[in-house]
Structure 1
Amino acid sequence: MSIWKRGAAAIKDKKSLAVAYLSTRRSHGDLDFEAAVIKATNHDEHNVGKRNARLVFCWIRASPDNMYPFVRALSKRMEKTRSWVVAIKGLMLMHDLGHCKLPAVKKMGRLPFDLSSFTDGHSRLSKTWGFNAFIRQYFAFLDQRGVIWRDEENKTAEDSPLMVQQLSKLRKWQFLLGMLLEIRPRADNMKVPLILEAMDCVVIEIFDVHSRICSEIAKVLLEVHSVVGKLEASKALEILRMATMQDEELSRYFEFCKEYGVLKANEFIAVTGIPEEDVKQLERIVNGASDKTYKDQMALVVREENNVIVEHGETMESLKTRITDKWEVFHENNTAAGARKDSDQPHNPFEIPDFISFLN
């Protein structure tokens, strides 16, 4: 940023502060927040404004009611700005607000301002198109995250099975992860401190969302081994396939971030893929073969040695063993509660002499 541009940006910020303090229609608390928001979202792309941001969130944590004047002040700032610097700093503030763990934040829903069609008005489009795209994607993610949070907070008892609810939740978070992976610098002139700071925020969010997805998938896979219907299996199979695709995208995304200079990307741990057997098991259920039938088939072992065939068929109910050698048949059924039937007793064709009676 040239000296002239920095001077012009500083003048704009001072003008905004003067207008805020001269206003007589707002309460003293609103004025304090408006001044803090203006300072935290100043026009200097080399100054992230962390000190003023920390001050704002200290006020909010001290009293959750302070969230409302903060949101009003930030919304007013975002609705007026045509500066990509101010817009990104405002989005980062809203992003950090979500980490305050306040119930009111998750109930807020969509963002109170709209940057879905943002265009910087201070430079040529050829120089700012990358920043415009970054802001639109960042806004879209935060806006959708607010919708998902609100739905989870306001959800009521549902008639659908628990596993279907889990799969629906998983699908939403996978969609959210996909939106996060779209946020990246795409122009050559975007390697500036503010963009790198915003990317750190995005990477941290990716860690959190991906962790949630892995946790929910683990729960689903535990239930897959029980009896599930084709509908649940089909939805779960789609989830696993999407997870496999996103794991590959995630690895490429973090490689890009490392090369670009995003510091938080260096904390990335290699993604563990979905076990192939879990995917195949769901495919069998979807194709009509129940899990129990598959296990019964896998438990059946046929061994043939020297005209002797031994079959072991194991199920949950019984264990049966048959040994066949031409004329002799031995059959044992462990499911019977009592003694063997006479017909099942081994037959000996030779009569054994009674030596005790013979001696007497």
Structure 2
Amino acid sequence: MLKRASDALKDASSLFIVNWTPRSPYRNPDIEAAIIKATSHDNSRIDYSSAQRIFAWIRVSSHYIRPILSALSTRMAKTRNWTVALKGLMLLHGILSCRVPAVQKIGPLPFDFSNFKDWNPNSCHHEAFVRAYYTYLHKKVSFMYQQDEKTGSLRKGIIQKPKQSPLMNNLGLLQNLQCLLDMLLEIKPRREKLMNVLVLEAMDCIVIEIYDIYSRICNGIASVLIRLYSIEKTEAVTAFSVLQKAAAQADVLSRYIELCRVFGVAKASESPKIVHIHKDDIHALEHIIYKVSNQQITDRSIIFTRG
């Protein structure tokens, strides 16, 4: 009870200071107040209305993104409380999900939770959860920024790397998405007793993200399989690696979703069936790689004999 009162006092003090902060090109008291409310110390409830205000500002104008990220960064840099940290990460996740072009250009995260420590030594499991969530969002921001850079370069006609086939570009994208999925699957509570309203809400966000990325992977693989018998060896080797990885991830994902159901994660109970990669597709790629390799050996032998 004493800790809850102390945490409430911290939030009230922060709001009081913000209310007396003069408005300037670099400070927006309304934004800072919304950030504090959305990332309060109360682990029994989430202030959805403040979070929605922040998302609405971003959708109205890209000019709000920098002050929002600045206020969030300041709030996160000061905290050693896992509740505030996790709410901040959920808020950032929501910002990254806003479908506006400027979000793609955010670049590196303005704060670092890679070594996050809570003031309470008994919060080690929550610390691990926060660090895993941060690691994913850090990678996602980098991925989004790189994709935006590539798209911008194409629009301007800038060639930054040796030209690759469209299929190899797609396969590279699939490998990046698989890397993101691996990081997502590391975000999980280690003990059922640690589950509360806040952690369950965070897990809902994670499960939604998992299905979004996994569906993109499945759709990408489907487009590769359509061209299965017209691809070259290099493409076939990369595609084989992607399919093997997807088959392994499907098994891990099935176990992950089942664990989430046991913990009571709502979105896990609503989740669709996991699509598994057919072994026949993997064998078909193996056959193509073997066939092309033998053909290349035969061609080199003919050239050497003629020479």
Alignment TM-score, normalising by the size of structure 1: 0.76
After the TM superposition, which residues 51-70 of structure 1 pair with which residues of structure 2 at under 5 Å, given as runs?
51-70=49-68
Find the counterpart in structure 1 of residue 168 from structure 2.
164
Stretch moving more, 40-49 or 17-26:
17-26
Q: Which letter maps to 2:183?
A: M
Tell me if structure 1 keeps the 8 A contact 2:229–2:288: no
Cα contact 2:233–2:293 (8 A) shared by 1: no
Structure with bigger strand share is 1
In the alignment, which residue of structure 1 is the partner of 2:147? 152
Superposition deviation, residue 41 in structure 1:
0.5
Does residue 277 (structure 1) correspond to residue 280 (structure 2)? The answer is yes
> Does 2:236 align with 1:233?
yes
Deviation at 1:62, TM superposition (A): 2.2
1:152 maps to amino acid:
Q
The one of 18, 22, 42 equivalent to 2:16 is 18
2:179 equivalent to 1:175: yes
Indicate the percent of aligned positions where both proteins have the same amino acid: 41
Calculate the aligned-residue CA RMSD, in Å.
1.8
| 3-state SS of 2:200 partner | helix
**Residues of 2 paired with 1:258 and 1:291: CA distance?**
48
**Conserved in 1, the CA contact under 8 Å of 2:233 and 2:292?**
no
Q: Measure the CA separation in 2 of the matches of 1:70 and 1:202.
A: 22
Distance 2:58 2:214 in 1: 28
Question: 2-side partners of 1:163 and 1:115: how far apart?
Answer: 36
2:22·2:29 contact (CA, 8 Å) conserved in 1?
no
The answer to whether the 8 Å contact 1:281/1:291 transfers is no
What 5-or-longer segments of structure 1 have no aligned partner? 293-360
Match of 1:90 among 72, 88, 91: 88
Matched residue type, 2:235: E
- AA paired with 1:261? G
Paired residue type of 1:148: F
- Aligned residue for 1:109, secondary structure, equals coil
The correspondence for 1:257, drawn from 236, 256, 260, is: 260
| Corresponding residue pairs, total | 286
In structure 2, what is the Cα distance between the partners aligned to 1:100 and 1:229?
38
Match of 2:136 in 1: 141
Deviations along 1:128-177, one digit per CA (max 9) or x if unpaired, are 11110000110010110111111111113550111111111100000000
**Where do 1:68-83 residues align within 5 Å?**
68-83=66-81
Instruction: Tell me which residue corresponds to 2:298.
Output: none
- Distance of 2:269 and 2:23 partners within structure 1: 48
Structure 2 counterparts to residues 193-272 of structure 1, below 5 A:
193-226=197-230, 228-272=231-275
CA distance in 2, matches of 1:146, 1:50: 23
Distance (Å, rounded) in 1 between the aligned partners of 2:95 and 2:242:
30
**1:184 CA displacement:** 0.3
Partners of 2:180 and 2:250 in 1: CA distance: 14
Query: Structure 2 residue aligned with 1:110, among 105, 108, 121?
Result: 108
Aligned to 2:196: 192
- The runs of 5 or more residues in structure 2 that have no matched partner are 154-158, 296-307
Q: Report deviation, 1:90.
A: 0.3
